[in-house]
Amino acid sequence: MVRTTVTVIKADVGSVAGHHRPHQKMIDYAKRKLAEAEETGLLKSFYVYSIGDDIGLVMTHHRGEGDSEIHKLAWDTFKEITEKIAKPLKLYGAGQDLLKESFSGNVRGMGPGVAELEFEERASDPIVVFAADKTEPGAWNLPLYKIFADPFNTAGLVIDPKLHEGFIFEIVNIREGTKVKLKAPEELYDILGLLGTPGTYCVSKVYRASDGEPAAAASISRLSLLAGRYVGKDEPVLIVRAQSGFPAIGEILAPFAIPYLVAGWMRGSHNGPLMPVSFRKHSAISFFDGPPRVIAMGWQIADGKLVGVDGVEPADLFDDPFWDYSRQLASQIAIYMRTMGEFMPARLEPSELEYTTLPQILKRLEKKFELIK
């Protein structure tokens, strides 16, 4: 049986109207570049999306995770878009997420975000790729917990014998570069103890406990930690397999109904509600550079290729009147959070602000402080 890999690599390499959205020429360039790679046989199929000021490349192939050719293709695409389009048009933040000058085998640690999942194709293999804007990788902790560990969200954990044995969470400490595998339901409280601190602990992979099948993969890099300064938020991506022994599509989408608070809104320094939106209609940000948002793209994987509703065009999973309610709620929460201005917890706590510009402002005050006698 052939194994197929889904690789999603994304970067913000410049945008129009400040941080609003990429230029169409950038998207078209990425499509041409990946189409060439499809012709040579490097890629089996691809899809180019944008959310906020980010461009994402969804690629399928048979070369496994972390393949240097696939990573180089993505790196070159973002580099060429920067040099040929973003810089000449003076787009905002041209080349922003490309932290290194030259490619060295893998884009991990170089700025772009990566999520990859290699698996043996089932008779029918549905996947969902989520992409978020104005937030960080830990934003997936809450929905991943609900999808794979909460029976009040995922009925299959109770009802379906294949899900009943639970799931294994691979959790990374992104500040220290360590990881741990914990199993739900047995180690649920330990899992929650870590996932509740999303600025430090992020889920990188989820496996089905009964047979070790990969179920989900998330991007885990934090740009600010890589660069040592604030260079923009990370707009994380997440790949989840669905149905027939994995959570149903509806169970995978359900955690997004009540917009939960995530870090990364405006200047990477605020908490805001994560709003589920249609990628065709609402993927660019506006109110207070937000609010943070998430899109959900659905495909089948067949013989190594993405199968969408029309060619590779994915199903737009948050384009349903149901989600209008969640969007309304997100708008209300967003306005409510803004009434707090620069007070925590609307503004992030100091350790999360480490690399933004506020510490530079406060540094000037240091000399004015006197000891209390």
Which of 205, 207, 230, 234 is labelled catalytic? 230
Q: Which residue in the set 232, 236, 255, 272 belongs to the binding site for ligand F6R (CB under 6 A)? A: 232
Kindly tell me which of 71 and 233 has the beta carbon lying closer to ligand F6R. 233
- Sequence-distant (6+) residues with CB within 8 A of 86 are 13, 14, 23, 26, 94, 95
- Note whether 233 binds ligand F6R by CB under 6 A: yes
Chain CA centroid to CA 301, Å: 20
Kindly tell me which of 235 and 316 has the beta carbon lying closer to Mg ion. 235
Facing residues of 297 across strands? 129, 316
Chain CA centroid to CA 252, Å: 15
Burial class (CB in 10 A: 0-12, 13-18, 19+), 1: exposed
Which of 10, 12, 133, 150 is labelled catalytic? 12
CB of 114 to ligand F6R, least distance (A): 19
Chain CA centroid to CA 170, Å: 16
Q: Which residue in the set 53, 125, 170, 289 belongs to the binding site for Mg ion (CB under 5 A)? A: 53
Kindly tell me which of 150 and 234 has the beta carbon lying closer to ligand F6R. 234
Residues 85-124 close enough to bind ligand F6R by CB under 6 A: none
Length of the chain: 373
Contact 73, 108 (CB under 8 A): no
Q: Which residue in the set 95, 112, 232, 272 belongs to the binding site for Mg ion (CB under 5 A)? A: 232
CB of 346 to ligand F6R, least distance (A): 14
- Note whether 139 binds ligand F6R by CB under 6 A: no
- Note whether 19 binds ligand F6R by CB under 6 A: yes
CB of 233 to Mg ion, least distance (A): 6
Contact 121, 1 (CB under 8 A): yes
CB of 123 to ligand F6R, least distance (A): 41
- Note whether 266 binds ligand F6R by CB under 6 A: yes
Map residue 14 onto helix, strand or coil: coil
- Note whether 203 binds ligand F6R by CB under 6 A: no
Query: Is residue 198 reached through a cis peptide bond, with omega within 30 degrees of 0 on the bond before it?
Result: no
Q: Could you give the CA distance from residue 154 to residue 247 in angstroms, rounded to a whole number?
A: 7
Whether 233 is catalytic: yes
Q: Which does 289 bind (CB under 5 to 8 A by kind): ligand F6R, Mg ion, none?
A: ligand F6R
Kindly tell me which of 251 and 289 has the beta carbon lying closer to ligand F6R. 289
Which of 233, 234, 305, 316 is labelled catalytic? 233
Of 66-74, 154-162, 213-221, 265-273: span binding ligand F6R (CB under 6 A): 265-273
Contact 331, 337 (CB under 8 A): no
Question: Closest Cα to residue 185, out of 209, 160, 161?
Answer: 209
Map residue 40 onto helix, strand or coil: helix
- Note whether 270 binds ligand F6R by CB under 6 A: no
Q: Could you give the CA distance from residue 110 to residue 231 in angstroms, rounded to a whole number?
A: 13
- Note whether 268 binds ligand F6R by CB under 6 A: yes
φ, ψ (nearest 5 deg) of residue 141: -55, -50
* Binding site residues, Mg ion, CB under 5 A: 12, 53, 232
Residues annotated as part of the active site: 12, 230, 233
* Binding site residues, ligand F6R, CB under 6 A: 18-19, 53, 134, 232-233, 266-268, 289
